Amino acid sequence: MKESFVSIQNLNLKHQQKSVLRDLNWTINKGDNYILFGESGSGKTSLAKIIAGLQQADGAIKINFNNNSNLPAEVLFVESWYQFKNLEGVANFYYQQRYTSQQAKDTLTVHAELVSYGKEKGLHFDQVEPILESLNFSSFASSQLIELSSGEHKKLQLVKALWLKPQLLIIDQPYTGLDAASRKNLNILLDKVSAEGVKLILISNDSELPASINRFAEIKNGHLIEVESNEITPSTAEKHFREIPDFLKESPVYSSQQIVKMVDVNISYGEKQVLKNINWEVKAGEKWLLQGHNGSGKSTLLSLVNGDHPQSYANELYLFGNRRGSGESIWDIKQHIGLISPEFHWYFDPNATVWQSIASGFYDTVGLFQQLPYSKSEQVNELVAYFGLTASKDELLSTLPLGKQRLVLLARTIIKNPELLILDEPCQGLDQQQTQHFNQLIDELCSNGMTLIYVGHFESQLPTCLGKRILLEKGEVKVVESLNTKTRHFEEQSNLV
């Protein structure tokens, strides 16, 4: 008879009077490493937090730690998003602060964060260096936490978890924001700690998994079901595409046929050069794919286009026909742009309702702080209906499943029918069905002539409307090409992304 490591019996959880988990039973035997998956909102993260003792629920949970093991007798839950604080212990940041923080030095560096963590957990620093090298993260030692991209934050979380090696390690969306090479190296590291006795539960819908994963479980209708693979059982409810609102059928009103032009653009932080001699032009109506390794400079490049980066004034940069620094404000620039990024999602107002979140797109704020005129209110209502969010319009954005949150933020980005839509890894954390649905919406919404810059690593997670590609490597432009039937297989031919 197998010896159980985790035993869960009759677990029940309600959220706002709605049952999330119903009489859930789960036995994890010693030697089992699980993938836990399911549709967005099915209760995966809640179950993980309950096992880790971070959330309360009704039912019985017993964890049989090995008292003879050298590994810490604890459960470590790695959240899908990293929460960090400044030097005063406050986590109240704003989006543009990431690019102005060089002057302020208001958060710990990666090195200081690891030193602090090592002291707290009694770890030897020499043991973390191979992990940093494997995840290609050693060069970020002097970077402040607020300067890191979503993929870099994920690496920091993973480094700390793999360094600690708890007896039970639960990782929510381990591959979020990681490029292909980092994903492969992460799987090797996970297999290594598994061989040393760490039990794994990975919450993921990805197909490329560590070899040590030998069990699969899906949460469906509040129950946990053991299955043969992590292919989500198709939902009986089909996604119906409503007719696109009339105001989005019209072509955006372009102020210039030149959306972005960069001439020998360079960005440096001290001695670290992030972008080197970038030359790039985006014309009205073009659909661009932006790619590159973690740390290749993608986020910095986009911050120049968004108007967020203070070093844009020191470069020859043209946005919407005007040279940057010719008198326009950051808000003048943002009037032309709709944006989704993991970092923007982090800093969005958690107290805003779905309706307020969408409406805030008119004013480029992270919450709604003024009364909308009737005509604009009607546009919000049209988008709420178009995205199937009517039943959720008065709920807080932060309480919705991740898939719905992304739809809300997409609605927010297009509410003003912008000239330029910037989607920075918009499908992070979504399952395959949600990703397909999201990108079908992008294809439909961009059919009116909207300009698009889309950041994504994998061909299976891209909209079909993309026509051009720019690839960054170590801050330099490596490739600029047109995407057609021959070049759409670039990912299979190259390890650059």
Percent share of the chain, pLDDT over 90: 57
pLDDT for the residue 232: 60
By the 8 A CB rule, do 497 and 491 touch?
yes
> What is the average per-residue pLDDT within 207-232?
90
pLDDT for the residue 235: 53
In this structure, of 41-45, 313-317, 340-344, 412-416, the range with the lowest mean pLDDT score is 340-344
Q: Is the pLDDT of residue 343 over 80?
A: no
Q: Measured in whole angstroms, how far is the alpha carbon of residue 468 from the centre of its chain?
A: 23
pLDDT band at 121 (very low <50, low <70, confident <90, very high): very high
pLDDT for the residue 347: 73
Q: Compute the CA torsion angle 463, 468, 472, 476 (nearest 10 deg).
A: -160
Let me know the angle formed at the C-alpha of 325 by 321 and 330, rounded to the nearest 5 degrees: 85
pLDDT band at 102 (very low <50, low <70, confident <90, very high): very low
Pairing status of strand 468-473 against strand 476-482: antiparallel
In this structure, of 31-40, 131-140, 364-373, the range with the lowest mean pLDDT score is 364-373
- For the chain, the straight-line distance linking the first and the last C-alpha, in angstroms and rounded, comes to 46
Check residue 465 and report its DSSP letter.
Answer: T
pLDDT for the residue 404: 85
Q: Tell me the CA distances in angstroms from 393 to 51, 387, 442, one per residue in order.
A: 32, 11, 21
Tell me which range, 192-201, 269-278, 336-345, is most confidently predicted by mean pLDDT: 192-201
pTM above 0.95, yes or no: no
The one-letter amino acid code at 351 reads N
Q: Is the pLDDT of residue 323 over 80?
A: yes
Region of residue 295 (left: phi > 0; alpha: psi -120 to 50; beta: else):
left
Let me know the angle formed at the C-alpha of 55 by 51 and 56, rounded to the nearest 5 degrees: 95
Q: Is the pLDDT of residue 135 over 60?
A: yes
Q: At what angle do helices 110-121 and 150-164 cross, to 10 degrees?
A: 20
Of 410, 382, 307, 393, nearest to 356 by C-alpha is 393
> Residues spanned by CATH 3.40.50.300 within the chain?
4-94+152-227, 246-493
The one-letter amino acid code at 179 reads D
What is residue 167's three-state secondary structure? Answer: coil
Q: What is the pLDDT of residues 446-463, one digit of tens each?
A: 999 999 999 987 666 799
Determine the Cα–Cα distance for residues 224 and 8; give it in Å rounded to an integer.
11
Q: What CATH number has the domain spanning 246-493? A: 3.40.50.300
pLDDT for the residue 416: 92
Q: Is the pLDDT of residue 496 over 50?
A: no
By the 8 A CB rule, do 470 and 280 touch?
yes
In this structure, of 103-107, 280-284, 393-397, 453-457, the range with the lowest mean pLDDT score is 103-107
Q: What six digits make up the tokens of 302?
A: 């986009």
φ, ψ (nearest 5 deg) of residue 14 = -120, 145
Let me know the angle formed at the C-alpha of 18 by 82 and 222, rounded to the nearest 5 degrees: 75
φ, ψ (nearest 5 deg) of residue 468 = -140, 160
Which single residue is written with the structure tokens 């191979």? 130
Q: What six digits make up the tokens of 31?
A: 């030697």
Burial 98-132, CB ≥16 within 10 A → b, else e? bbebeeeebbbbbeebbeebbeeeebeeeebeebb
What is residue 378's three-state secondary structure? Answer: helix
By the 8 A CB rule, do 210 and 118 touch?
no
Of 406, 367, 376, 373, nearest to 389 by C-alpha is 406
> What is the average per-residue pLDDT within 213-235?
85
Q: Is the pLDDT of residue 406 over 70?
A: yes
- We find that the CATH architecture of domain 4-94+152-227 is 3-Layer(aba) Sandwich (3.40)
Pairing status of strand 468-473 against strand 287-292: parallel
In this structure, of 84-98, 157-171, 248-262, the range with the lowest mean pLDDT score is 84-98
Cross-strand partners of 268: 273
pLDDT band at 229 (very low <50, low <70, confident <90, very high): confident
Which single residue is written with the structure tokens 């010693």? 30
- State the greatest distance between any 2 C-alpha atoms of the chain, in Å, as a whole number: 75
By the 8 A CB rule, do 419 and 254 touch?
yes
pLDDT band at 318 (very low <50, low <70, confident <90, very high): very high
Check residue 206 and report its DSSP letter.
Answer: -
pLDDT for the residue 94: 41
Cross-strand partners of 60: 9
